[in-house]
Amino acid sequence: MNQLLKRKSRGDAWFDIINYILLTIIMLLVLFPLYFVLIASFSDPNYIYSGEVWLFPKGFTLDGYERIFGDSSIWIGYANSILYATLGTLIGVAVTVFAAYPLARRNLVGKSAIMWFLLVTMFFSGGLIPTYLLIKDLHMLNTIWALVIPGAGGVFNVIIVRTFFQSSIPDEMWEAASIDGCSNTRFFWSIVLPLSKSILAVMVLYHVVGFWNGFFDALIYLNDESKYPLQLVLRNILVQNQVNSGMMIDVESYAAKMRVTELIKYGVIMVSSLPLLILYPFLQKYFVKGVMIGSIKG
């Protein structure tokens, strides 16, 4: 049988060849823009401008990075993003896991009512303005809390973690533990959590990426520039074309200014995406796992 599967007809051989060629092209189409940003960030802006940078950096320079790292707004953005991501992840993961644990238990009284209480918010919501007015009334405008508290405990995450608990920690385990006099809380800390490292990793990653890449809440709720996360700083540079004057030291002519601006743009893309892109190949399996668990219907 295996012999038969291995023996290729000519049509199948062509199928494989075309398949490999197409996938390689697709992969290059995805890869090239990322690669180009990388080489452009190290190239002399004059060559980028005249279209001479294609496959390798030309006129190697670190000028862009020097200007970027010499500017305080990037550092402040970095520090703020790290702070928001850390705090937001802690709160978000804690709320999610605490909520998922009781909901995973088969015979909790009122379980389905609580589940519906959470699920309804997937279909109905107050929308942007009523939420904004609430944050304003609670005096949370222009504070970190507006970014890290209101969205904590998203329904999808609760369902993913709940499904994981249900499938990997059977009720019999709890029954056995409770006969030995174990309390619910103790069971949670000393049995459930240690057995759930992989789902915790998935949740931490989801939250960190979400906070690192998010900018909408910051855009709406923050107006003090010293509190801006990295993505809002990037938006000013990349989308609104406002490169800080600090980054433009010793650039005289208008044309040169334009060029340095381009170089800075390539640089900030690298600087902001690098932490995730470096970590990502190592973390890939956790994300894949997360998507898989999420696809099992709870």
Partner 1 sequence: MIKPNQKRWSRVKRDYELYLFLLPIIILYLVFRYYPMYGVQIAFKDFSPSQGIWGSEWVGFQHFIDFFNSYNFWPIITNTLSLSFLSLLFGFPAPIIIAIMLNQMLGKKYKKFVQTVIYAPHFISTVVLVGMLNIFLSPNSGIVNHVITLFGGDPILFMADEGWFRPLYILSGIWQETGFATIIYLAALAGVNPELHEAATVDGASKWKRVWYVDIPSILPTIVILLILALGNIMSIGFEKAFLMQSDLNYATSNIIPTYVYEMGIQKAQYSFSTAVGLFNSFINVILIFTVNRIAKKMTETSLW
Q: Please report, as residue ranges, which positions from 162 to 191 form the binding site for partner 1 (by CB under 8 A).
A: 183-185, 188
Q: Which range binds partner 1 by CB under 8 A, 13-21, 57-65, 68-76, 244-252?
A: 13-21
CB of 48 to partner 1, least distance (A): 6
CB neighbour class for 204 (10 Å; exposed up to 12, middle 13-18, buried from 19): middle
User: DSSP code of 243?
Assistant: -
Kindly state the helix (H) or strand (E) to which residue 280 belongs, with its residue range.
helix 254-295
Tokens encoding 67: 């200007």
* Rg of the Cα atoms in the chain: 25
Q: In the window 84-143, what residues touch partner 1 (CB under 8 A)?
A: 94-96, 98-99, 101-103, 105, 107-110, 114, 117-118, 121, 123-134
| 82, 90, 204, 238: which one binds partner 1 (CB under 8 A) | 238
| 11, 55, 180, 197: which one binds partner 1 (CB under 8 A) | 11
Tokens encoding 146: 């507006």
Burial 99-111 (b: 16+ CB within 10 A, else e): bbbebbeeeeeee
Binding mask 188-227 for partner 1 (x = CB under 8 A): x--------------------x--xxxxx---x-------
Q: In the window 24-83, what residues touch partner 1 (CB under 8 A)?
A: 24, 26-27, 29-31, 33-34, 36-37, 48-49, 51
Residue with tokens 């003090």: 224
Written as one letter, the residue type at 254 is Y
User: DSSP code of 248?
Assistant: G
Written as one letter, the residue type at 24 is T
Using left for φ > 0, alpha for ψ between -120 and 50, and beta otherwise, residue 187 falls in: alpha
Tokens encoding 77: 């953005």
Q: In the window 268-297, what residues touch partner 1 (CB under 8 A)?
A: 268-269, 272-273, 276-277, 280-281, 284, 287-288, 291-292, 295
| 144, 158, 222, 243: which one binds partner 1 (CB under 8 A) | 158
CB neighbour class for 263 (10 Å; exposed up to 12, middle 13-18, buried from 19): buried
User: DSSP code of 296?
Assistant: S
CB of 90 to partner 1, least distance (A): 13
Nearer to partner 1, 79 or 133 (CB): 133
CB of 266 to partner 1, least distance (A): 7
- Regarding 147 and contact with partner 1 (CB under 8 A), the answer is no
Q: How far apart are CA 201 and CA 49, in angstroms?
A: 43
Nearer to partner 1, 196 or 272 (CB): 272
CB of 56 to partner 1, least distance (A): 14
Nearer to partner 1, 75 or 151 (CB): 151
Q: How far apart are CA 259 and CA 252, in angstroms?
A: 11
Query: How many alpha carbons fall within 13 Å on the CB side of residue 64?
Result: 28
| 64, 88, 153, 267: which one binds partner 1 (CB under 8 A) | 153
Q: How many residues bind partner 1 (CB under 8 A)?
A: 96
Nearer to partner 1, 83 or 95 (CB): 95
| 172, 175, 194, 239: which one binds partner 1 (CB under 8 A) | 239
